[in-house]
A = this chain, B = another copy of it.
Amino acid sequence: MEKHSDYHHGSLRRALIETGLELISEKGVSAFTLRELAKRAGVSTAAPYHHFRNKAELLEAMAAEGWRMMGEGFEASSAAEETPMERLYAIGRAYITFALEHTPYFRVMSRPDLYCTEEESDYSGTGLEVFEMLKSAVTECYPDRDRSDPVIQATVLNAWVQVHGFSMLWIDGPIRTTSLGKLGVEELMKLLFKTPVTG
C-alpha cells in the first residue's frame, strides 16, 4: 500500500473501521460519533461518506468483519481437538473468548438494531454462518441422530444461549458485580460447561 498525499488518505476505509473500534472501546457504541471518528482519523466530517453510505453501513462492516473473525476462531480452536464433544466445547470457549478479547467488535455484532435495516430483511452475514458452524459441531456429537432431532435442537439452543448470555452479562458488568464475579472468567467457564442439570 503506497503512501499518498495529504489530501488523499490512501486507506481511509480501513482506518475508519480500526479507529472506529478504538473509539467504541473507549466510550461505548452508543456514544460513538462519526464526527469524532473523522477528526481522529484526520479527515473532514464528510469524508467517511465516500466509503460508507451512512453510519449504519460502517457499523455493518465492523460487524461483518467481527463475525468472520469469530468464524475463523471457531475453526482454529476446534481443529486442535480430537473428539466432537471437545470440538464443541472449544467452539463455546472461542465464542466467549472472542467477546472478551475483541469486545468492541462483539458490542457492535450483538446490536443488530444498529446495522440491520429492517426485521429479517438483510439478516445475512450477521452471524448466521457462525450459528451454522455451532449447529454442525453439535450434530457431529450425535452421528446417529437427525439434524431435526430434539436432542440436537436442545443442545444447539443451550450452547448458543449459554455462550451468548455469559458474554453479554460479563462484558456489561452484571456478573462481575455479583458474588460470581470473584471467581474469574476461567473458573466460570468451567462451571458453565460442566453443569449437569440446567436451572
Q: Which residues of A contact B (CB under 8 A)?
A: 28, 30, 88-89, 92, 110, 112-114, 116, 119-120, 123, 127-128, 131, 134-135, 138, 148, 150, 153-166, 168-169, 172-180, 183, 188, 191-199
Q: Check B192 against A159 for contact (C-beta < 8 Å).
A: no
Q: Check B161 against A131 for contact (C-beta < 8 Å).
A: no
Q: Check A162 against B162 for contact (C-beta < 8 Å).
A: yes
A192 CA to B164 CA in the complex, in Å?
14
Contacts of A178 in B (CB 8 A): 128, 131
A180 CA to B158 CA in the complex, in Å?
11
Q: Point out which of A123, A163, A198 has the most chain B C-beta atoms below 10 A from its C-beta.
A: A198
Q: Check A30 against B113 for contact (C-beta < 8 Å).
A: yes
Closest to A138 in B: B199
- Assembly stoichiometry (copies): 2
Contacts of A183 in B (CB 8 A): 153
Question: Nearest Cβ in chain B — how far from A55, in angstroms?
Answer: 11
Q: Check B161 against A166 for contact (C-beta < 8 Å).
A: yes
**Which of B114, B148, B161, B197 touches A165 (beta carbons < 8 Å)?**
B161
A177 CA to B148 CA in the complex, in Å?
16
Q: Check A153 against B180 for contact (C-beta < 8 Å).
A: yes
Q: Check A120 against B173 for contact (C-beta < 8 Å).
A: yes
Contacts of A198 in B (CB 8 A): 158-159, 162, 192-195, 198
Contacts of A188 in B (CB 8 A): 157
Closest 3 CB pairs of A and B: A159-B199, A165-B165, A161-B165
**Which of B114, B116, B123, B173 touches A123 (beta carbons < 8 Å)?**
B173
